[in-house]
Structure 1
Amino acid sequence: MPRILVVYASMTGNTEEMAEAIAEGAKEAGAEVVAKEAFDASAAELNDYEGIIIGAYTWGDGDLPDEFTDFYEEMDTLDLSGKKAAVFGSGDTSYPIYCGAVDTIEMKLRKLGADIAGESIKFEYNPTETEKEQGRSLGRRVASLAAAG
Structure 2
Amino acid sequence: MLQVLILYTSSTGHTEEIADLLEKQLDSRMCKVTSENFEMGDMETRHLLQFDGILFGTYTYDDGDLPFETDIFCDTLRTVDLTGKVVGVFGSGDTAYEQFCSAVDLMKMEFTQQNAQVIQHSVKIDLSPDTQEDLQSIKKLADEFQQTTLNLISLKETRNV
* TM-score, L = length of structure 1: 0.91
Q: In structure 2, how many angstroms separate the alpha carbons of the residues matched to 1:80 and 1:138? A: 19
Q: In structure 1, how many angstroms separate the alpha carbons of the residues matched to 2:16 and 2:141? A: 15
Aligned with 1:139 (options 133, 137, 142): 142
Aligned with 1:56 (options 55, 58, 83): 58
Task: Tell me by how many angstroms 1:139 deviates.
Answer: 2.0
Task: Tell me by how many angstroms 1:128 deviates.
Answer: 1.8
Moved over 6 A (4+): none
Where do 1:69-108 residues align within 5 Å?
A: 69-108=71-110
Query: Which of 22-31 and 54-63 deviates more?
Result: 22-31
Partner of 1:2: 2
Task: Tell me by how many angstroms 1:136 deviates.
Answer: 3.3
Task: Tell me by how many angstroms 1:66 deviates.
Answer: 1.6
Equivalent AA in structure 2 for residue 5 of structure 1: L
Query: Which of 66-75 and 12-21 deviates more?
Result: 66-75
Q: In structure 2, how many angstroms separate the alpha carbons of the residues matched to 1:97 and 1:129? A: 21
* TM-score, L = length of structure 2: 0.85
In structure 2, relative to structure 1, the CA distance for the partners of 1:84 and 1:124 (3 Å cut) is same
Aligned with 1:117 (options 111, 116, 119): 119
Relative contact order, higher structure (CA 8 A, sep 6+): 1
Which protein has the larger Cα radius of gyration, Structure 1 or Structure 2? 2
Unpaired stretches in structure 1, ≥5 consecutive residues = none
CA RMSD, Structure 1 to Structure 2 (Å): 1.6
Unpaired stretches in structure 2, ≥5 consecutive residues = 153-161
1:35 counterpart SS class? strand
After superposition, the C-alpha distances for 1:105-149 in whole angstroms (9 at most, x for unaligned) are: 000011111112231110100012421342233223212221222
Task: Tell me by how many angstroms 1:37 deviates.
Answer: 0.7
Identity over aligned pairs, percent: 32
Equivalent AA in structure 1 for residue 2 of structure 2: P
Q: Check the 8 A contact 1:22/1:137 in 2, yes or no.
A: no
Q: Check the 8 A contact 1:4/1:34 in 2, yes or no.
A: yes
Partner of 1:19: 19
